[in-house]
Structure 1
Amino acid sequence: MPRSLKTSLLRRYYRALNAWAWRRAKRLPVVSEEREIPGPGGTIGLRIYRPAGAEAERTVLYFHGGGWVLGDLETHRPFCEQLCANTRSEVVAVDYRRAPEAPFPAAVDDCVAAASWLVERDGGSEQGPVYV
């Protein structure tokens, strides 16, 4: 079986497993926005979650799970919503490039670029701390 087919099947399974695991999770009072920033291999997608009707007390830079291969922004959406709502944090989730299509160190490079963007964005602000 070709590697790309194996990866595709694994990603489908991972998505299904995550959907099952979060099937009872309630949607929380969170707003999200999609954003793109420049990265070393093109644009990097971000999904930024904020508590609805409240000011965030801190920022969490979130790199989704999946071993740099399987996960994506959607598989970890319920977790990011929970994290945002329950900690009153802005959550910046990074849609980094995944292997095997983008071999190491592409994902790490994208994550570093996202962290640098966040530091530049918040550099002069008095917003709460940033957590990774």
Structure 2
Amino acid sequence: MAVRRDRSESLPDQGFPHSATVAAGVTVFTGGIAPLDADGAVTPPGDVVGQTKQCLSVLEKVLTERGAGLKDIAKLTVHVDGEMKVDLTVAWDAVVEFFGGDVPPTSVVGVTALPLDDQVVEIEAVAAP
């Protein structure tokens, strides 16, 4: 594996890695992954949890096309439209569930707008297969 997920030895254990170390080689940077279905529609409209899972499913397909997988993610950023901390928390919980608890270093941030109607989540990643 080219990516090693590291927990800090000097910070309290928060249940996730604080950083990732990547061996030299190919690096995949994604743009913002929208929660689109096969027809290009936002799905499910306005649903933070559902869109987080849909974005991650689409991300997994994009990474597979580049010879990478979820285990190769060195950095994940989840953008959630809204100022409610509860939305950030449920998005984080959906990420943890999707990864089976083995999440990469992740930032979950609130944004004021996303480009598509009914879109409330967008995800980008850096991976090293």
Relative to the length of structure 1, the TM-score reads 0.31
- Structure showing greater radius of gyration is 1
Relative to the length of structure 2, the TM-score reads 0.31
Relative contact order: is structure 1 or structure 2 higher (C-alpha 8 Å, sep ≥ 6)?
2
